[in-house]
Structure 1
Amino acid sequence: MEGLQNLTTKWKKLSPLSSECRIYRVPKRLRDVKEKAYTPQVVSLGPLHHGGEGLQAMEEHKLRYVKDFFERIPEVRVEDCFTYLMDREEKIRACYAVAIEFNAHKLVEIILVDAIFTFELLLKSSFDSLQDKNDCIFGKPRMSRVVIYDMMLLENQIPFFILEYFHTVYFTNRPIPWLSLFELTHKFLQNGVYIRSLGDTMKKLNHGPQEDRIHHFVDFVLKCHRPQPSELPQIKKLKTSTIPRATALHQAGVKFVNCELHDHYISDYVFFIDRLVDQSKDVELLVENNILESKLPDSEAAAAFINSLDFGPILFSRDFYFTDLCEALNAYYSVPGTSGRQA
């Protein structure tokens, strides 16, 4: 009976499932391929990588940003901000899909510092007058881009509703110019990642349903790129993952045009591109047709990178957005004479 009591005690301690849970650990299958690709290199944001190796140097700089924030709005007390976050500690904890090892006070301290640091990054990026020439981020070439790369890691996220709180605190106590959090975020991220124009982005973010609100930075970029549901192709079961590579299709007369992105439409799209690319010539063809934009040294490096992406069996456990396109390409290419035709 003692074992049964232990079991019931454990499940009584389980926290309820939350709709707020949006920040996850990267699956071990992907992390084992390249650990460094999923680990922040210069700055931790949130509790999952706090105190990580090589990230300590930025902790002092975070505190400088916190100091800047409160000195600019002296009527706001840090104690009040801490209390506000403490009242929402359970909601904050529920945003993460793993158990957080820190107690309530430590977790709130981490979130407060990291959220204000993040918000200050957005402010300083939009208002040059707030930047210090000796700043270790804005005062060094390309450093802000390195920070942005860390901010794009799924495990390295701050819940967006906390940034919304500090945005309100700041601009309620400041004169114009006033910028929305969407505008601040867009302006900062466009320095390091591909993102659509502000006009297109604001339309999508302002007219979406309430339940489709922004959850964190990765979610922001995703929602900027995805088309409206009415614009999506029909998803169907994928019968085969094999299609001719890009240069072979080009020789057969296939024309390439840009595609849109949406949720797992994105991973489906990348999987589809992986099927098209086998050699450097395939990359060169897709670059010529504005399908790919590579920042890697050459087309061979780009082809190697695309071919190294490991999707495993996950695409075959659900419907696929590009089923019709794959089937149409295979059907076209199988017609006698097309495979040898020059475009």
Structure 2
Amino acid sequence: MSDNPIEEEHVVSINWEINKAQLEMMQQKISQPPRLLSESAGRSSCCIFRVPQSFINVHGRSYEPQIVSIGPYHRGKDNVKMIEEHKWRFLGNLLKRTEEKGLNLEDYLKAIQPYEMKARECYSEVIVFDRDEFVEMLVLDGCFIIELFRKIGGVIPIEKDDPLITMSWIYPFFLRDLIRLENQIPFFILQFLFDLTNIQQHEEYQYSSTPSLSKLALTFFNYTLQRPNEVLEKYVNLESKHLLDFLRSSYILALDDENPKHRRNNASTHVIQCISKLRRAGIKLRPSKEETFLAIRFNNNGFIEMPTITIDDFMSSFLINCVAYEQCHVDCSKHMTTYATFLDCLVNTQKDVEYLCDCNIFENYFGTDFEIATFINNLGKDVMFDIDECYLLELFIKVNGYYKSSWHVHWASFKYTYFSSPWSFISALAALVLLVLSILQTLYTILGYVHPPP
């Protein structure tokens, strides 16, 4: 063995034979761009994501379509084949109307082709479809959604025996599937196809005076959301990234200008306690009437005022997918994430849910109080949340300040302990009477000793 370590290293390197096949394979991997999370995923133009596995582990199939596939991620799966056949029927019905005005299927495909690359960049995963297949998917899925909105919105007549409309079990699945993050096509594709097909047809259709795409979309979802018409009218021209972002944006934009602006706080800011602990400090909840459930306030009288929210299958799916979208998109506000974190703070157990239901904050169409508590606690798992940048920062600061105020805590704790129920009040009153009688007896005894009777 050589005393020179450099010579020894040189000998070892000469004796080690490089596997050329392995080297070539490594070079190929280096030159290949990422496919499952493409480079476009880091751009603001990317808005349709494969949901991270950590979220799927918590929420299961909440991100996958149940009966209708929109976009490339779940195309061709067995559970969506039934509606896939009806997409072609919807497209055929649309073509029957537009062909009379000189607009045929070839025109649709040619019109979408220039937007192919822009649409591909909206997906976080590399789309393996070739140009023709990808453009076909955009036209088929886009026209299906538009026709569905037009039928539900009363713009075009519904066929008497159309099973997608007459079978009541299908519509709730459409509502949920169309707002799943992995089940989207870009909104600009929908808008382009809508404008392309929104031409004057037969007099009974009156296409030239139909509502906007945004109005039809709001009407479609409002059968379950039940928002007032005057609220919907504010967003008839709303545009966004896709349908999930569209519906999400309509709630965020409804926050009025008086809502406190978030600001950085020099001191450390903490999330609030659960509602059971807040109640012991004299903080209570009461419902308020607002255009959006995101509008939450805290007044100086110790009340958190928040709008009633109906928790059902649709709203739970909507919140889950909104949080995932905000976590994935690089240029997106975190309003829904903040709201989910706020609910997670308030709710620790099913007793907290019971109190929120009693206060008319929650309308429960989801399940038991325990199931709602589990859902809310899972909603904030594995979520990145910056409290100093959230829209509820001022509320967190005020609630924590009130909670830490000593006289509030002591007085509220006294009331909660002794006056929260009739039996506790009776027990406290009995104890007080007994204490007064004991004091009087002691006084009489002392007076009898100091001033004995003659």
The answer to whether the superposition gives a TM-score over 0.5 is yes
Greater mean alpha carbon deviation, residues 226-235 or residues 48-57: 226-235
What TM-score do you get using the length of structure 2 for normalisation?
0.66
Q: CA deviation at 1:170?
A: 2.3
Identify the residue that residue 328 of structure 1 maps to in structure 2: 398
AA in 2 matched with 1:325: L
Identify the residue that residue 342 of structure 2 maps to in structure 1: 272
AA in 1 matched with 2:345: R
Q: CA deviation at 1:104?
A: 0.9
Residues 20 and 59 of structure 1: CA distance in aligned 2, closer, same or farther (over 3 Å): same
Among candidates 24, 31, 38, match of residue 56 of structure 2: 31
* Counterpart check, 1:231 vs 2:259: yes
Identify the residue that residue 438 of structure 2 maps to in structure 1: none
Q: CA deviation at 1:197?
A: 3.2
How many angstroms apart in 2 are the aligned matches of 1:143 and 1:313?
32
Q: CA deviation at 1:81?
A: 0.6
* 8 Å CA contact 1:26, 1:38 repeated in 2: yes
Identify the residue that residue 83 of structure 1 maps to in structure 2: 110
Aligned residue for 1:108, secondary structure, equals: helix
Identify the residue that residue 179 of structure 1 maps to in structure 2: 211
* Counterpart check, 1:64 vs 2:89: yes
How many angstroms apart in 1 are the aligned matches of 2:388 and 2:262?
13
Identify the residue that residue 361 of structure 2 maps to in structure 1: 291
* Counterpart check, 1:200 vs 2:231: yes
Residues 36 and 255 of structure 1: CA distance in aligned 2, closer, same or farther (over 3 Å): closer
Q: CA deviation at 1:260?
A: 2.5
* 8 Å CA contact 1:222, 1:263 repeated in 2: no
Deviations, residues 71-122 of structure 1 (Å, cap 9, x unaligned): 1222211001101111211111111121111111111111111111111110
Aligned residue for 2:118, secondary structure, equals: helix
Identify the residue that residue 8 of structure 2 maps to in structure 1: none
Aligned residue for 2:194, secondary structure, equals: helix
Query: Highest CA radius of gyration, 1 or 2?
Result: 2
Deviations, residues 233-254 of structure 1 (Å, cap 9, x unaligned): 4144664335132574277243
AA in 2 matched with 1:66: L
* 8 Å CA contact 2:50, 2:124 repeated in 1: yes
Identify the residue that residue 439 of structure 2 maps to in structure 1: none
Among candidates 151, 158, 161, match of residue 124 of structure 1: 151
Among candidates 197, 202, 205, match of residue 170 of structure 1: 197
How many angstroms apart in 2 are the aligned matches of 1:268 and 1:215?
21
Q: CA deviation at 1:204?
A: 4.6
Residues 277 and 2 of structure 1: CA distance in aligned 2, closer, same or farther (over 3 Å): closer
Identify the residue that residue 294 of structure 2 maps to in structure 1: 260
Identify the residue that residue 426 of structure 2 maps to in structure 1: none
Among candidates 60, 69, 72, match of residue 44 of structure 1: 69
* 8 Å CA contact 2:274, 2:348 repeated in 1: no
Unaligned runs of 5+ in 2: 1-22, 296-331, 421-454
User: Higher helix fraction: Structure 1 or Structure 2?
Assistant: 2
Alignment: residue pair count: 337
Aligned residue for 1:61, secondary structure, equals: helix
AA in 2 matched with 1:135: D
How many angstroms apart in 2 are the aligned matches of 1:253 and 1:48?
46
AA in 2 matched with 1:158: I
Q: CA deviation at 1:163?
A: 1.4
Aligned residue for 1:293, secondary structure, equals: strand
Residues 230 and 47 of structure 1: CA distance in aligned 2, closer, same or farther (over 3 Å): farther
Deviations, residues 127-150 of structure 1 (Å, cap 9, x unaligned): 276212322221101311111100
Residues 46 and 323 of structure 1: CA distance in aligned 2, closer, same or farther (over 3 Å): same
AA in 1 matched with 2:270: T
* Counterpart check, 1:188 vs 2:220: yes
Among candidates 230, 236, 245, match of residue 275 of structure 2: 245
Residues 190 and 304 of structure 1: CA distance in aligned 2, closer, same or farther (over 3 Å): same
Identify the residue that residue 113 of structure 1 maps to in structure 2: 140
Deviations, residues 17-39 of structure 1 (Å, cap 9, x unaligned): 75432111212210122331111
* Counterpart check, 1:338 vs 2:412: yes
* 8 Å CA contact 2:274, 2:347 repeated in 1: no
* 8 Å CA contact 1:277, 1:283 repeated in 2: yes
Paired-residue identity, %: 26
